[in-house]
Structure 1
């Protein structure tokens, strides 16, 4: 036994050095001897374990979801189209057009097993620290706050997917494999409790780069209550008869108020100089980042540029998997705040001139300056020009006439060999303002909602909103979230919580623009970027629990309808 613990401590020290180098990316999976007093005597072990927990945030970096080769969830929505139509690079397209693929045996959007593995590790950490750690109570509270921040994030994803799940918050619950699901309302409340505890005990300034703060906890708390309020208002038990799904409609106002209060707490920190809006989305060390994961070469990199950059950046090697749809491109306003329209002859003649600032930071369009050249997405261009979706199984070229610019590194020319190091910002101050605007609009606090919405718009050089009623403000918020948060992994989940996915994402094909040279100008033909209608049924608002988990847990019941 002594030899086992000696080896364990040596391993912890070795991995600790690596974790420090890799900015909290190393995750230690404790054994059943994890809580032994010999391990907990060394405070550096506690630091190592808590650092490793942050690896969970990388599961969903840059809006990815672990289906296929980490396809982006935005491609399940109306703002992004993946270019491949085969499993792997194009799995997301298959799911978007075939709702029957989601079954209890193959839920497709599955995080259950990975989530509960992480939750057990966190609960083991909390149990071991309580029993054996010799650090002072304030330090214990700080570490517990970080652990519960991560646990709240994991549970938040389970709630997004399933609504109702099994709440595991202490080690005594692991003595039996018969554990029931809690109601969806209790699940959202439990997540909120974790984030509230984190907000109460975390520092305003992170103890180390990439670690949770008071502002991050309040931001996640605001996001949590907004989701709970949305389900309460919009679900109304219309899409599932499971007795444990849904949130009481009567509680919507209270939950919107909770969301507004938490968002206001972040706004208060911003007024003290901790956060502010910036004009560049992916700037390193941006003060707009409320919580982020940092990457440092060569130890810790990612493949965002390789995945989304135009093929002209690395011919034959760039993947160019996800591209913007025309539905997103058309959503960006003109610089003076008027809506763009292809019916406007002047705008249609030069559709990429005079648009709002976010358009130029988000979209690479035909003629856009990029890395010393001008992007050419005309159908005649063999390198990065338009190709019809479905003609080639994995074309690695645009099928909409556009490429993503947001979050790409314009200075990185060696990403194929050395990867990328842009930060992943899990939650930005702009999102907090939009949460506040939505919650306040729902509470009929018109001027407050307008104020937060206008902060986001004014940063983009746009005039104040004209919205002056709750209905108008919600339309404005939906528009702003679609544009401001594009490619950050929000759109699909927004449509789900608003219970709009079964109308926006069903029986429809999204589009692109086939651009051709014509004299001294261009012609723009709207073409389908899908080769089959999208499908989203009401049942998909609650993804089934993997059938294998029902065998592992004798008290676990499947969500009704599956």
Structure 2
């Protein structure tokens, strides 16, 4: 674990002095060289404010579905059945290497490594919390507000560590840093710790919705997300995959955790009823409208200094020379979208098969670019005849920079941005949406066997998306409806991989299979559609991957830390 010596090693607020946002792609962890700077922080309220702003840089680590150390947008979705990365080479194609070989994960080469960076952030937050009460002259009210914000970020950081490892080291005060040796906590204690941070934040933050800053609604939303993870693990893990005594949660805790998730989500619903949040009737506009009330916690960008490169990574090749086309939607995702009348799409239905992209639900057209789609004053052509945007077989080129499934992403792209190679992109990243809160609420209600309420919550969301009501009166049936809605509603927002892991379904959905695309073949005045593999080897996910290993170097330097069993 990386150790810092004193609080003067973190003054991210200095970034603002030179006009750099904490969400810009740069190193904001400035290292002052003397104690005078540390004393200056606590004597000036404006520098304290800058310091807190800097803490929010942690949200950049995971924006646009990115994962620490892979460093690519949508990387986690590309580990699943809804997105396929096109490259076979290390770097652009590392996610494919990981997806096809579970042996790529290990203590010496963990595949996904957030441990060191996460604990560096936690150390700095704990230093800030200590200084807040021992060195600052702020009022009690200001201290509580800043503590709430800092604990919101700490809760988020620990949330990710728990997602990855289950059992981690819990540190919440500077006295614990007197020794370098710390043991892991139980997974149950970890989720309770995270929940306590978010609950404190929810109690002490204001309701006002602010871009890039924690609010009461954001804290309750994260609290609901944390509890639904804990509940899922308690219900589904049952010590089937790991013998480590510190991983897993007793199954009897599930109902209480579902209830906690339900309560937290309902607090957000109350705020929505007060007018703070609401589902957006125009699904496509959610990700481009900075005034949408569906966004609960949002990271904004602004040219020229604060930009990102999502369009560069996922726009179709004809949008601009130099597009990278990291990943594309799979046929599995495309087939998940319903018809506009709410019936399930089926290739076995002659009407659907004859024109598979007609009369689909609104979210389909806002999420997928397909053969014949209108996009930036042209018609997308994914047939093999198009040498620029047409489908190419996966593996024939190390980095083809075009689709291997017959589809391109539409969601999150900016349809008005025609010069993103030079100017970058500025659409917001929405970390928390009101739609996700309703999906959490429905799942918590189902977990608590309130099936009618769960279906009602789902239908609230579906109605806003222009779809008819659904119905099920069994828990398995309701959970199937929830999984479907999470796939199509949250596609490319970084949820699918973690959903499959917390439901303990990844070892069946992501193992021993190859995901597919659709090759469109002209046939006279119409087209036929061939299913083609988008993989050249089977996917690989073993039960051990539900708890990723602690990096070997961290284990070696901490005498009290033992590796998670199975690794």
In the aligned structure 1, how far is the partner of 2:103 from the partner of 2:22?
41
Alignment map for 1:178-189 (pairs within 5 Å): 178-189=181-192
Cα distance change of structure 1 residues 414 and 339 upon mapping to structure 2, 3 Å threshold:
same
| SS of corresponding position for 2:219 | helix
Deviation at 1:451, TM superposition (A): 1.9
Cα distance change of structure 1 residues 506 and 495 upon mapping to structure 2, 3 Å threshold:
same
Q: How many residues align?
A: 552
| SS of corresponding position for 2:336 | coil
In the aligned structure 2, how far is the partner of 1:417 from the partner of 1:263?
41
Q: More displaced, 114-123 or 271-280?
A: 271-280
Deviation at 1:19, TM superposition (A): 5.3
Cα distance change of structure 1 residues 403 and 24 upon mapping to structure 2, 3 Å threshold:
closer
In the aligned structure 1, how far is the partner of 2:148 from the partner of 2:91?
37
Deviation at 1:516, TM superposition (A): 1.4
Q: Does 1:236 align with 2:238?
A: yes
CA offset digits 1:365-421 (Å, max 9, x no partner): 001010000111111110100000000000000000000000000000010001000
- The runs of 5 or more residues in structure 1 that have no matched partner are 1-7
| Equivalent in the alignment of 2:17 | 17
Q: More displaced, 273-282 or 61-70?
A: 61-70
Alignment map for 1:213-224 (pairs within 5 Å): 213-224=215-226
In the aligned structure 2, how far is the partner of 1:160 from the partner of 1:172?
26
| Equivalent in the alignment of 1:468 | 473
Deviation at 1:35, TM superposition (A): 8.7
Deviation at 1:17, TM superposition (A): 2.9
Alignment map for 1:401-550 (pairs within 5 Å): 401-550=406-555
| Equivalent in the alignment of 1:378 | 383
In the aligned structure 1, how far is the partner of 2:558 from the partner of 2:90?
31
Deviation at 1:283, TM superposition (A): 2.5
| Equivalent in the alignment of 1:4 | none
In the aligned structure 2, how far is the partner of 1:401 from the partner of 1:309?
14
Deviation at 1:115, TM superposition (A): 0.2
| Equivalent in the alignment of 2:180 | 177
In the aligned structure 1, how far is the partner of 2:46 from the partner of 2:24?
14
What RMSD in Å do the two structures reach over aligned CA positions? 1.7
Which of 303, 314, 327 aligns to 1:308? It is 314
Deviation at 1:466, TM superposition (A): 1.8
Cα distance change of structure 1 residues 503 and 35 upon mapping to structure 2, 3 Å threshold:
farther
Q: More displaced, 102-111 or 21-30?
A: 21-30
Q: More displaced, 392-401 or 467-476?
A: 467-476
Q: More displaced, 63-72 or 40-49?
A: 63-72
CA offset digits 1:323-369 (Å, max 9, x no partner): 00000000000000000000001100000000000000000000101
In the aligned structure 2, how far is the partner of 1:231 from the partner of 1:209?
32
In the aligned structure 1, how far is the partner of 2:12 from the partner of 2:339?
55
| Equivalent in the alignment of 1:363 | 368
Deviation at 1:447, TM superposition (A): 2.4
Alignment map for 1:86-485 (pairs within 5 Å): 86-206=89-209, 209-278=211-280, 279=282, 280-285=285-290, 286-315=292-321, 317-485=322-490
In the aligned structure 1, how far is the partner of 2:12 from the partner of 2:398?
46
In the aligned structure 1, how far is the partner of 2:184 from the partner of 2:198?
21
TM-score (normalizing by structure 1): 0.96
Query: 8 Å contact 2:13–2:53 — kept in the other structure?
Result: no
Alignment map for 1:47-86 (pairs within 5 Å): 47-70=49-72, 72-86=75-89
| Equivalent in the alignment of 2:5 | none
Deviation at 1:284, TM superposition (A): 2.4
CA offset digits 1:105-131 (Å, max 9, x no partner): 111111000000111111111111110
Query: 8 Å contact 1:301–1:420 — kept in the other structure?
Result: yes
Deviation at 1:470, TM superposition (A): 1.6
TM-score (normalizing by structure 2): 0.95
| SS of corresponding position for 1:406 | coil
CA offset digits 1:497-539 (Å, max 9, x no partner): 0000000000000000011111111110000000000000000
In the aligned structure 1, how far is the partner of 2:533 from the partner of 2:496?
20
In the aligned structure 2, how far is the partner of 1:394 from the partner of 1:281?
32
| SS of corresponding position for 2:159 | helix
- The runs of 5 or more residues in structure 2 that have no matched partner are 1-7
In the aligned structure 1, how far is the partner of 2:36 from the partner of 2:466?
54
